[in-house]
């Protein structure tokens, strides 16, 4: 790994040349195929990873094999830092969803960096605070919203993110703008909102009848984002 490449990793911004050179010596790069497991919940943990390119999902699995997706993490985000901070086994399984390249650091080198680079420590704490908020929101939604409402909320947030990234598909039947394409399976949606695939399927059918979306294979077209928003707004009133 070259110093010049490391300089462009957002989490490492502000490190001195000496710190970057140290990292270039000690960090390793890894490539993961789509669906490849990076590590499993319960494994001992001795490395933290920074995603250089790609996407992983953070999942936790019940004994019966049901999967709950805690988060998707992409370019510039890190994972595996928790075990290096509390010395406990991996809190979740990490699985690549696309071809993914990461940079890994061993515990001693990570701890050294945290002590020597306060800006990096602050960035990491900020990311952990955001995750804690998001996880709190998941708990709140599980307690106060039903499956249809949780699904509508998730779809609104995914569609909003897609709009921000500019991933819209023109030429739909919607009168007031393009449809928003989401590439996601019903099983993934179920795992993201803590529901069964069957109940997600039922709610999607109801949203389709109301004209809010169209259901395709491995994808959804959001046709009426405001309609979906109204489901969430009514639930939160």
- Which residues are near ligand CMP by CB under 6 A? 45, 58, 70-71, 79-83, 90-92, 94, 131, 135
Q: By C-beta, is 133 or 219 nearer to ligand CMP?
A: 133
At residue 191, φ and ψ (nearest 5 deg) are -70, -30
Classify 191 as helix, strand or coil.
helix
Q: By C-beta, is 142 or 215 nearer to ligand CMP?
A: 142
CB of 217 to ligand CMP, least distance (A): 28
CB of 124 to ligand CMP, least distance (A): 10
Q: By C-beta, is 32 or 212 nearer to ligand CMP?
A: 32
What is the pairing mode between strands 47-53 and 100-106? antiparallel
Q: Beta-carbon neighbour count of residue 191 at 10 Å?
A: 22
CA-nearest of 184, 230, 183 to 207 is 230
Question: What tokens were used for 47?
Answer: 């490395």
CB of 202 to ligand CMP, least distance (A): 27
CB of 212 to ligand CMP, least distance (A): 28
Q: By C-beta, is 74 or 122 nearer to ligand CMP?
A: 74
CB of 42 to ligand CMP, least distance (A): 10
Q: What does the alpha-carbon distance between residue 187 and residue 50 come to, in Å, rounded to a whole number?
A: 27
Q: Beta-carbon neighbour count of residue 98 at 10 Å?
A: 13
Q: By C-beta, is 92 or 120 nearer to ligand CMP?
A: 92
């Amino acid at each position: 790994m070259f110093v010049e490449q490391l300089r462009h990793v957002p989490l490492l911004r502000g490190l001195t040349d000496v710190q970057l050179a140290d990292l270039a010596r000690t960090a390793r790069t890894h490539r993961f195929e789509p669906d490849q497991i990076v590590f499993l919940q319960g494994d001992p943990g001795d490395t933290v990873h920074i995603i250089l390119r790609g996407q992983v999902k953070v999942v936790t699995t019940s004994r019966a094999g049901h999967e709950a997706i805690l988060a998707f993490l992409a370019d510039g985000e890190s994972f595996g830092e928790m075990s290096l901070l509390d010395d406990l086994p991996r809190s979740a399984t990490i699985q690549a969803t696309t071809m993914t390249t990461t940079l890994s650091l061993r515990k001693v080198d990570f701890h050294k960096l945290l002590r020597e680079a306060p800006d990096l420590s602050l960035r990491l704490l900020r990311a952990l605070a955001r995750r804690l908020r998001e996880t709190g929101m998941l708990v709140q939604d599980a307690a106060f919203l039903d499956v249809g409402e949780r699904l509508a909320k998730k779809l609104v947030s995914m569609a909003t993110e897609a709009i921000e990234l500019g991933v819209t598909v023109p030429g739909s039947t919607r009168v007031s703008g393009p449809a928003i394409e989401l590439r996601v399976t019903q099983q993934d949606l179920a795992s993201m909102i803590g529901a069964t695939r069957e109940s997600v399927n039922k709610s999607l059918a109801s949203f389709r009848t109301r004209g809010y979306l169209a259901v395709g294979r491995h994808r959804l077209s959001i046709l009426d984002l405001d309609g979906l928003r109204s489901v969430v707004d009514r639930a939160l009133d």
